[in-house]
Amino acid sequence: MPHYLLASVPIHGHVTPLLAIAADLAGRGDRVTFLAGRRFAGAVTATGAEFLPLPADADYDDRLLAERKPGPGGIAGLRADITGTFLRPARAQYDALHVHAVASSTPPDVVIADPTFIGAALLAGHDREQRPPVVSAGVVPLTLSSPAVAPFGLARAPLRGPLNRPRNAVLHALVRRVLFAPVQAELDALFRAVHGRPAGAFLFDLQGTLDAVVQLSAPGFEYPRPDAGVPIRFAGPIIPASAGGELPPWWDELGTGRPVVLVTQGTIANTDPTELIRPTIDALADEDALVVVTTGGRPIAELGALPGNVRAAQYLPYDLLFPRLAVFVTNGGYGGVQYALAHGVPLVVAGATEDKPEVAARVAWSGTGIDLRTGRPAPAALRRAVRSVLGEPRYRSAAARLAGEIAAARGVDELVEVVDALRRGERLPIG
């Protein structure tokens, strides 16, 4: 039986999709080991996988990230996030991977890593004969550079017409030579410490140094990259069934005929409900809609007084909730957006941190919703956006098109096929 080693940074939204993959593979009778943060040990073993703890230098509690003193926004904030959250733990990640994937007496047949797990790129820096294949499981938007797309981090969709590539060339030069040059220097220093040479790839192109990318999305949500230098496959989101649990007493109200609007700030960027949840509540207080709030574990009392058309819970079973939704209002977490699209639910997105502006830009580009281009939208802007999404069929039609693509995707079977080909030493088609 094949042996899969999964690896993720200790962030809930990155671990959760890999847990679904682990459960599927373990259910097939395969051996699965999972390198993750200690707080996810129980969730890992519940899938049937063997838990491997990250070293202390690579482990942290993601729930504390949002409670840190607010840092800079925009590009400066993205630089700080990449450096502190993803780059500096990479050497410890690599050391753990080397122990479990190279030096082990029972090495895995493949390493499947979260794209922000930079230790996997360090492992892939070894000659192929010295390591197992390394595959990226795309739990965030594709970051790969291309003349056909603007550089990652600027949240700019491709232009139609002849100005697209000239614009992109200028932006790529700006990003590489100025905006992210300090981060690239730190990445190169890390590679020199391990391999005696610089990275050989720009920061956002590290996926291209791996053996394949299996993106957990649909082709229609990602910008086309006709010149990608790495095999890319789209598996669709891997969505686990909910764990069940008691439904709130108001659950039956979801079927009374009013459009249901869900708003959430996810499980990390949820410490300040005045960013998105409270403005949405205020925006829709007088609308003929039922507004459902999930707080991602935060106390409901933090929301303040709730209008009569608002229902709130810390968590809800999304597999039961999303088929009932008319609109999803979100700060742009990649997994939640994919979940909405899998159910054909159009979106209103307001995100300003991490990869959320990139997710929001893809929502607008794909026609599946509205990007408010801010992390703190005004109630009036939210009201207009929700009314537009409810009133204009093109958004739901685009979301339904993406739902069709996701339904046709092969999920974990796509990943297994890629892994099997790599194990046989086959050369996968590029792109």
Domain-embedded: residue 243? no
Q: Is the CB of residue 349 less than 8 Å from the CB of residue 363?
A: yes
Task: Give burial (CB, 10 Å; 0-12/13-18/19+) of 330.
Answer: buried
Q: Assess whether pLDDT exceeds 60 at residue 234.
A: yes
Domain-embedded: residue 388? yes
More confident residue, 62 or 326: 326
| Separation CA 381–CA 329 (nearest Å) | 12
Helix axes 12-27, 334-342, angle to 10 degrees: 50
Pairing of strands 110-113, 50-53: unpaired
The two tokens of residue 46 are 């519940």
| Position 66 confidence tier, pLDDT thresholds 50, 70, 90 | low
Q: Assess whether pLDDT exceeds 70 at residue 178.
A: yes
pLDDT, tens digit, for every residue of 99-113?
A: 999 999 999 999 999
* Nearest of 103, 130, 135, 108 to residue 232 by alpha carbon: 135
| Position 44 confidence tier, pLDDT thresholds 50, 70, 90 | very high
Same-domain pairing of 195 and 305: no
Same-domain pairing of 355 and 345: yes
Residue at 333: amino acid letter: G
Same-domain pairing of 166 and 212: yes
pLDDT, tens digit, for every residue of 307-322?
A: 999 999 999 999 899 9
| Position 243 confidence tier, pLDDT thresholds 50, 70, 90 | low
What average pLDDT does this structure show over 224-253? 88
Domain-embedded: residue 330? yes
Tokens 């391999």 map to which residue? 195
Percent of all residues in the chain with a pLDDT value above 70, rounded to a whole number: 97
| Separation CA 24–CA 368 (nearest Å) | 29
Q: Is the CB of residue 348 less than 8 Å from the CB of residue 329?
A: yes
What average pLDDT does this structure show over 122-149? 96
Q: Is the CB of residue 176 less than 8 Å from the CB of residue 203?
A: no
The domain that holds 363 is classified in CATH as 3.40.50.2000
Same-domain pairing of 25 and 133: yes
Extended beta strands in 180-297, E state: 212-215, 232-234, 260-264, 290-294
Q: Assess whether pLDDT exceeds 60 at residue 70.
A: no
Whole-number pLDDT of residue 431: 65
What average pLDDT does this structure show over 366-387? 97
Task: Domain of residue 286: give its range.
Answer: 251-407
Q: Count up the domains in the chain and report the number.
A: 2
Whole-number pLDDT of residue 46: 96
Q: Give percent helix, percent strand, percent coil of the chain, each to the nearest 5.
A: 45, 15, 40
Whole-number pLDDT of residue 354: 86
Q: What is the pTM of this model?
A: 0.94
Domain-embedded: residue 431? no
Quote the mean pLDDT of the chain. Answer: 94
What average pLDDT does this structure show over 187-195? 97
Put residue 309 in one of left, alpha, beta given phi > 0 → left and psi -120 to 50 → alpha.
alpha
Same-domain pairing of 190 and 100: yes
Domain-embedded: residue 44? yes
